[in-house]
Structures are given as C-alpha cells and as structure tokens.
Structure 1
Amino acid sequence: MRKFEEGATMQVATIVRDLDAAMKRHWEVFKIGPWDIWDFNPQSVQDYMYRGKPATHSCLIGCAWSGDTQIELIQPTGGYSIYDEHLEKHGESLHHIKLFYADTKKAAADFEAQGYPVIQSGRFDEDEHYYLDTEKDFGYILELGNAGKIRPGERRYPA
C-alpha cells in the first residue's frame, strides 16, 4: 500500500479514444504496465455527479504504476462528461493531475472557496474523486483523491 503526503501528486491522466491501443503503446514503448482496467458507470460509481447533476456517463479506465505515480488512461464509452468535453476541445492529451488529500470533501470545499468549483465527482468503492475547474488557470484539470481501497480490476493488460 502506497503512502502519500497531503497535497502530493499521485496520478497523471490522459484521455484516449482507444484504451487498448493506448495501453499497448505505453507497454511497448515505455514498458509502463501492467494495466488494471475498470468500467466506471452510474451503477459502479456512487455519488456520481457531472456539473451539479447525477452523472449518466461511462468510461473505461486503465491504471498502471510508474514508481510512486499512477498513470491513468480514460476512454469515454457513453453519455457525456468532462472526458468528452476534453476530447472535443483538445483531442487525446493530458487531462488531469491528481493530488492526495485524506479528507477530499474538505479539500474540495477549500479549493472551491478559492474559485475552483467541483465539475465532476464520485466514489468507487472507498476511493473518492473530485475534479476541479482549474483548466483556465493551469491548462489542465486538477483532481483530488483519497487513495481509497478499490476492488481488483476487471481485466489486466498485458494478460
């Protein structure tokens, strides 16, 4: 189990159109992997919100560790979310950097008070996530997470 300091960078994420192709490229070129893959959707994510309303989107998420930083690849698969917004505006590219906060709800409220509202959020098992509207000032979205325990991936690449 990895331990993170408050506010430490724990993840870098890219939005992709084809998760399998992106994992294969990362594995073959950089030897990043193996990748654990999950299906995030309104049935698997609790308190799922998108821009203040219940979320209806789904996506495939692949994660692999490179040292103490998690690399995340996200492929939107249905509905509409900040991931689709990103693909329309930027294509496949860096989407967010995730920072660790043990109390993500408090951290999100603190950032909101500084002018960075939550634009998407949810909880997958014990892992909470809050995406903040930081792109205008930083060029990317900031995600806050608590590194909560989650179930094993539904599949792995390479198998």
Structure 2
Amino acid sequence: MSGLLGNFVTQIGILVNDVEKVSTAYAEFFGLEKPEIIVTDTEDIAQTRHNGVATQARAKLAFFDMGSLQLELIEPDHEPSTWRDYLNEHGEGPHHIAFVVEGMKEKIMLLEGKGFPLQQKGEYTGGRYAYMDTFKELKVIVELLENDKDNGEE
C-alpha cells in the first residue's frame, strides 16, 4: 500500500508561548546545546499566505536535531497564522509533523483532492513549506517541506 507522502517523518513542530524558556528546558532535558533562536523571514521574502490571504505573520523558532528527526519549537506573533490559530485553540503542544517532498504544487493538489485543504504556505531561505489541514482525521497538521535543489544545475 502506498501512502500519500511516504512514511518518513522529518520534523515535529511544537507550539509554545515562550521559545526561550521551552528551548532551555529541552536543552537541559536532552543534554543538548541550546540552539540559536531564529525569526522567520519578513513578509517580502516569506510571502506567507494563511487561508488564501497574505499575512505578515512571523514566528521565533528553535530547532533541535534528534537523529533522523528534528524538533521545531515555534513561538508565533499575533498576526493571522496557522500557528496563532492553533495555539489559541489548542494551547501549547504538537502542531505538525513534516515530510520532505518534491513537486510541492502537485502534492498540495493531491491532498486537497483528498479533502485536506491548504491552510498556510510560505517561502524560507532555501525552500518552501505548506501546512495542510489534516487535523480532523490525523489530530495533527501535516507540513510539506520542499527544499531547493542546490546541485549547481539551474
């Protein structure tokens, strides 16, 4: 049986109210170095769209590499976003599981055709992301990540 996206989860995203505090707790718990907190790109670069509408939403992020899986801590600002909506509705905790894909537009269309609407998408340095609304069925959002190919062939 073939799945819609494969079965290799690359990341788990967790929403938090205070990324500094929670990243310190994760670092101490797992005996890891506390990662640098980064802020998502500005609107002109990110081109973030939430429910089809442009938004200035940004978030503070901390990434922990845990073997084959990355944990992403996300502290959203108060602009409209899937992060803010989810945090307001569900509180702190897991938000998404992410998969690396090729052919982002095709994967979005495939999932939308199966009844999983695009919730938010945007760009980041080196690629793009899309959050698909799979919560009703999977109890978590699915994020698609597509990284730009950097093999010198343009």
Q: TM-score, normalised by structure 2?
A: 0.85
Structure 1 Cα separation of the partners of residues 24 and 34 of structure 2: 10
Aligned residue for 2:48, secondary structure, equals strand
Which residue number corresponds to residue 71 of structure 2?
71
- CA RMSD across the alignment: 2.0
Q: Does 1:119 align with 2:119?
A: yes
Identity of aligned residues (%): 24
* Cα distance, 1:42 vs structure 2: 3.5
* Cα distance, 1:59 vs structure 2: 0.8
* Cα distance, 1:17 vs structure 2: 0.3
Structure 2 Cα separation of the partners of residues 113 and 33 of structure 1: 42
Which residue number corresponds to residue 30 of structure 2?
30
Structure 1 Cα separation of the partners of residues 35 and 45 of structure 2: 20
* Cα distance, 1:45 vs structure 2: 3.8
Structure 2 Cα separation of the partners of residues 7 and 104 of structure 1: 17
Structure 2 Cα separation of the partners of residues 147 and 15 of structure 1: 23
* Cα distance, 1:7 vs structure 2: 5.1
Q: TM-score, normalised by structure 1?
A: 0.83
Name structure 2 gaps, 5 residues minimum.
150-154
Which residue number corresponds to residue 103 of structure 1?
103
Bigger relative CO (Cα 8 Å, ≥ 6 apart): 1
Between structures 1 and 2, the one with greater strand share: 1
* Cα distance, 1:135 vs structure 2: 0.5
Tell me the matched-pair count. 145
1:119 and 1:131 in contact (8 A); partners too: yes
Q: Which moved more, 1:134-143 or 1:25-34?
A: 25-34
1:36 and 1:64 in contact (8 A); partners too: no
Structure 1 Cα separation of the partners of residues 70 and 62 of structure 2: 10
Aligned residue for 2:10, secondary structure, equals strand
* Cα distance, 1:43 vs structure 2: 3.3
Name structure 1 gaps, 5 residues minimum.
150-159
Give the counterpart letter for 1:135 in structure 2: F
- The higher radius of gyration belongs to 2
Deviations 1:103-142 (A, max 9, x none): 2221111111111111100010222100001111111100
1:38 and 1:62 in contact (8 A); partners too: yes
* Cα distance, 1:40 vs structure 2: 1.4
1:99 and 1:144 in contact (8 A); partners too: yes
* Cα distance, 1:148 vs structure 2: 4.3
2:50 and 2:120 in contact (8 A); partners too: yes
